[in-house]
Amino acid sequence: MPVSCAAWGCQNRCSVSTRSKGITFHRFPKDVLMRKKWEVALRREKFTATKACRLCSDHFTPEDFDRTGQTVRIRDGSVPSVFNSPAHLQRVGYVQMRKFKSISYSRLRI
C-alpha cells in the first residue's frame, strides 16, 4: 500500500522523487495524548489516526527534527504546525483548544 500524507490537501506520496527532495514520512505517536495533539493539529473533522497514517516532513518546522543519525526522527513533544489549509480552517477556536487541554487519560477511550 502506498504511503501518503494524512494532512488535508497534501499531495506528497512516498516515492523516489519525494525522497530526493528530502521529504520524509512519520508515524503518529503511540502516546495517546501526543497522538491526540497531532490529530487536533490536522484540523480534520472526525479524523482518527490508524497504524497506517503518516505525516510528511513538510508539516513540521526544522527545529522539530533530530537529524543526528542516519534516520530522520521527530523530536519528542513536537506537534505538526505547518499546513496549507483553506481560510476557514486556519485558526483553531479558543473553545476547541480549551476542550482539548482538559482531556485526561481516564477520559480517553481506546
pLDDT tens digits along 41-96 = 888 888 899 999 999 999 999 999 998 888 889 999 999 988 876 665 555 543 34
Rounded-to-integer distance, Cα 82 and Cα 98, Å: 21
Taking the model in full, what pTM does it have? Answer: 0.71
Domains of the chain, residue spans:
16-83
Q: Which three cell numbers stand for residue 98?
A: 480549551
Rounded-to-integer distance, Cα 35 and Cα 19, Å: 25
Rounded-to-integer distance, Cα 17 and Cα 27, Å: 20
pLDDT tens digits along 9-56 = 888 999 998 889 989 999 999 999 999 999 998 888 888 999 999 999
Q: For position 69, what pLDDT does the model report?
A: 85
DSSP per-residue codes, 37-89: HHHHHHT-TT----TT-EEEGGGS-GGGEE-SSSS-EEPTT---------GGG
